[in-house]
Structure 1
Amino acid sequence: MIRKVKKEIRVIGFDDGTFKFKSRGDKVILVGVIMKGSSDVVGIVTRWITIDGLDVTDAIIDAINSSRFKDLRVVLLKGITYAGFNIVDVSRVFKETGLPVIVVVRKKPDIGAMESALRKHFDDYEVRIKLLRSAGKLVELIPGKLYYQAIGISYDKAAEVIQVTSRNSMVPEALRLAHMIASAVMCGESKKD
């Protein structure tokens, strides 16, 4: 439990690399950047996940639990869908790592459209829709610009963590860097955050 959000809170932020939508079954990199607050990069972990698979949750849990970084306090996710519709089970990440999870997104997702796409393109759409719906309430942090979900941490504390760990953009620095690194691995150079 986080009583006070310190300036140098240890977080790990995950994002995936760019991929082609017609590449179902191929692999894409998942990068986790470990930081102290918004300034010091402490380490990086990577895993490969399947485009439109269901292995991102296991990859995140393994990356955290098998890493040498044992002083982590919070998991930051840039959304809950990775590598297409490889959807994170945020409750399971919280339970199996013991770390609160904060999901950060810039655009409010259209859950109805996502569910429709899942029904149309996936035989296991019921499992994926259940994961989408179980991610927690979406809260607006910056009107029209930044939203978040919190699992295992209060929404007030989660907002503090987001603010303390952000420096060069609205998004926490660990997520911004994870995005840049993952894009560079997949495309040869980083993409705009």
Structure 2
Amino acid sequence: MHIPKKGLRALGIAESYAGREHSTLAGIVMRKDLITDGCAFSRVTVGGMDATDGILRIVHTLGRRDINVILLSGCVIAFFNIIDPGRVFECTGLPVICVTYEESAGLEGDIRHHFPGDTARLDAYRRLGTRTPHILPDGQTMYLRSWGLDPADAGLLCTAFTCDGKTPEPLRVARITARAVHRFIS
């Protein structure tokens, strides 16, 4: 992947979850020069295990061959509905970067509390592995996990798509869009 390329496209996927039965996912295709040129939506079950399928539905709906990377706003969404980024990478052939913003001791205790005996969910969480801190030029820190892309390149890519604060633009716009759509359909 040629990170300096202006036309490089990221698919940013974020959710809007408001304690209902479903969470709305928005996928925004954005060029590195911050031009938005695609959008798709999906729904996943709150507390379910269908987040990966929801991500793949967005990719399939878009049907684009010019997307270079997928950015995810977290790997655990919709009340512990755990995404399998490795499967997303395998199914799409696109590198996947999961971005989070807070330092954390992890979610194993919360998963055990809310889903006692759910070893499949706990195993899915453990397979995510550890996060790598990435410090942006303004000193803010984001935490990354990447599949199909070296962690250093994942950091460079996130920096290239971040113009204000610590949220890459495709994820910021996807989150805003998911909230608007979620309110509209609810």
Unpaired runs of 5+ residues, structure 1, are 189-193
In structure 2, C-alpha distance between the alignment counterparts of 1:137 and 1:65, rounded to whole Å: 28
Q: Which residue of 1 aligns with 2:126?
A: 133
Q: Which residue of 2 aligns with 1:186?
A: 182
Q: Which residue of 1 aligns with 2:111?
A: 118
Q: Which residue of 2 aligns with 1:56?
A: 51
**Cα pair distance change 1:53/1:3, threshold 3 Å:** same
What is the count of residue pairs matched by the alignment? 181
- TM-score when normalising by structure 1: 0.86
Shift of 1:5: 4.4
Matched, 1:106 2:101: yes
Matched, 1:69 2:64: yes
Instruction: Give the residue type in structure 1 aligned to 2:105.
Output: D
Contact 2:158/2:168 (CA < 8 Å) preserved in 1?
yes
Secondary structure in structure 2 of the residue aligned to 1:13: strand
Matched, 1:37 2:32: yes
Matched, 1:168 2:164: yes
Instruction: Give the residue type in structure 2 aligned to 1:127.
Output: A
In structure 2, C-alpha distance between the alignment counterparts of 1:5 and 1:56, rounded to whole Å: 31
For 1:25-48, what per-residue CA distance to the aligned partner results, in whole angstroms no more than 9, with x for missing partners? x11210011000151001111001
Instruction: Give the residue type in structure 1 aligned to 2:179.
Output: S
2:89 to 82, 86, 94: 94
Shift of 1:63: 1.4
In structure 2, C-alpha distance between the alignment counterparts of 1:151 and 1:158, rounded to whole Å: 9
In structure 1, C-alpha distance between the alignment counterparts of 2:4 and 2:151, rounded to whole Å: 13
In structure 2, C-alpha distance between the alignment counterparts of 1:40 and 1:144, rounded to whole Å: 24
Identity of aligned residues (%): 29
Q: Which residue of 2 aligns with 1:14?
A: 13
Instruction: Give the residue type in structure 1 aligned to 2:46.
Output: I
Structure 1 runs of 4+ with >3 Å offset: none
- TM-score when normalising by structure 2: 0.89
Contact 2:39/2:62 (CA < 8 Å) preserved in 1?
no
Aligned-pair Cα RMSD in Å: 1.8
Shift of 1:3: 4.8
Contact 2:26/2:174 (CA < 8 Å) preserved in 1?
yes
Secondary structure in structure 1 of the residue aligned to 2:130: coil
Contact 2:14/2:72 (CA < 8 Å) preserved in 1?
yes
Contact 1:8/1:36 (CA < 8 Å) preserved in 2?
yes
